[in-house]
Each structure stands twice: as C-alpha cells, then as structure tokens.
C-alpha cells in the first residue's frame, strides 16, 4: 500500500506547539515573557481542515496566552495548554469527542510526545524532530518545525479526500 493512502482515513489532527507549530526557539524578553513565531501557511491549513469538518486539537506543555489566542483565531477550540502528561489530555480528547485513535494524525517533535504518538494511526514529525521521535514516526515531513510541517500533513490529508484546490499535486516542484 502506498503510505499516502493511510492519510485518507485521518479525521482528527493533534499537534504539539513548540517544535511543530514553531521552530523550537524562544525569544526571552527582559521581563521574562517568551515570544514564538508561527508559520501563516500552517495557520491557513488548520483553518481549511476545520472548514471541511476535520477535528484539530493542540496539546502542549507551554501555557502562552498569545499561542492560545492565535489558535482560537484559527478556529481551534480544543486547546490543551500547560500539559505535563500528554497522554491524559489525549485520553480525554478520545473519550469526550468519541474519536478513534486509528483516525488520528499526531505531530510531535520531542520526548513528551512519544507515548501519545505510539497510540495514533499516523504518528508524524517535522524533519528536525528528536531521533527517538523520528524513529517512531510513520511520516517525517520534509519541513522543519515552524516552517510548514503542519501544512504538509494537513494538505496531504485534504488532497487525498478531494478537499484541496488540486488533489493531484501531492509534492512541491523542485
């Protein structure tokens, strides 16, 4: 089976923030506040997924108000901030929203994501993820965290379900 065919059955996306929606780097201001930057194309893809009825959740150890406001602005309602045990949040999502783990694509980049990634249909990661996460992943995006890896996986799922502009263009031209 072509590995892309596995993307067709995905109905739910769950993403980490730092290292997936961002590039893992933090700018620390003198007052102690932390700044992150996100990719607008990732944001567009998240909005498209939600528009077409896909569920999108965030599970992150961070607790940034700015991150929460950005994600809410994209239409994400299931935002789990400040989570130390991601498996607990994952179990709650599965139970509350009646989601089949095999229909979930989870994208993480580091050790806190490992246990959840073992439970989903497609564990995925950005190209600059930790080696342990790359080893576990069924799909490694050619994009780095914060540089379009979220768009990459969402776009593949939407194209395979005929929900994207041109479902026949699955790869970028070189």
DSSP calls for 74-106: TT--EEE-S-S-HHHHHHHHHHHTT--GGGEEE
Mean of pLDDT over the chain: 92
Residue at 96 is within a domain: yes
Task: Tell me the backbone φ, ψ of residue 125, rounded to 5 degrees.
Answer: -155, 160
Which CATH number covers residue 78?
3.40.50.1000
Q: Does 173 have pLDDT greater than 70?
A: no
Structure confidence at residue 2 (pLDDT):
66
- pLDDT single digits (tens) 2-27: 667 889 999 999 999 999 999 988 78
- pTM, entire model: 0.92
53: left (phi over 0), alpha (psi -120 to 50) or beta: left
135 occurs within a structural domain: yes
Q: 2 in a domain, yes or no?
A: no
Residue 6 within a domain = no
In a domain, 8, yes or no: no
In a domain, 9, yes or no: no
pLDDT digits (tens, 9 = 90+) for 157-172: 999 999 987 655 556 6
Task: Give the range of the structural domain holding residue 137, as residue numbers without chain letter.
Answer: 14-26+38-160
pLDDT, tens digit (0-9, with 9 covering 90-100), for 66-83: 999 999 999 998 999 999
Residues of the chain above pLDDT 70, percent: 93
Strand partners, 55: 12
Q: Does residue 167 sit within a domain? A: no
Domain tally, the chain: 1
pLDDT for res 34: 82
pLDDT average, residue stretch 39-58: 96
| pLDDT of 28 | 87
In a domain, 72, yes or no: yes
């Amino acid at each position: 089976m072509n590995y892309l065919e596995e993307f067709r059955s995905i109905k739910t996306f769950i993403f980490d923030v730092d290292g997936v929606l961002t590039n893992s780097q933090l700018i620390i201001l003198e007052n102690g506040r932390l700044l992150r930057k996100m990719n607008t194309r990732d944001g567009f893809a998240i909005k498209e997924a939600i528009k077409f009825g896909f569920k999108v959740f965030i599970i992150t150890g961070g607790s940034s108000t700015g991150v929460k406001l950005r994600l809410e602005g994209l239409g994400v309602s299931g935002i789990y901030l400040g989570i130390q045990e991601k498996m607990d949040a994952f179990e709650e999502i599965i139970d509350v929203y009646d989601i089949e783990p095999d229909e979930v694509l989870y994208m993480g980049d580091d050790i806190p994501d490992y246990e959840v990634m073992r439970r989903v249909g497609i564990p995925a990661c950005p190209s600059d993820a930790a080696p342990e996460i790359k080893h576990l992943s069924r799909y490694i995006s050619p994009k780095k965290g914060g540089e379009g890896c979220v768009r990459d996986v969402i776009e593949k799922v939407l194209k395979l379900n005929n929900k994207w502009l041109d479902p026949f263009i699955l790869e970028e031209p070189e």
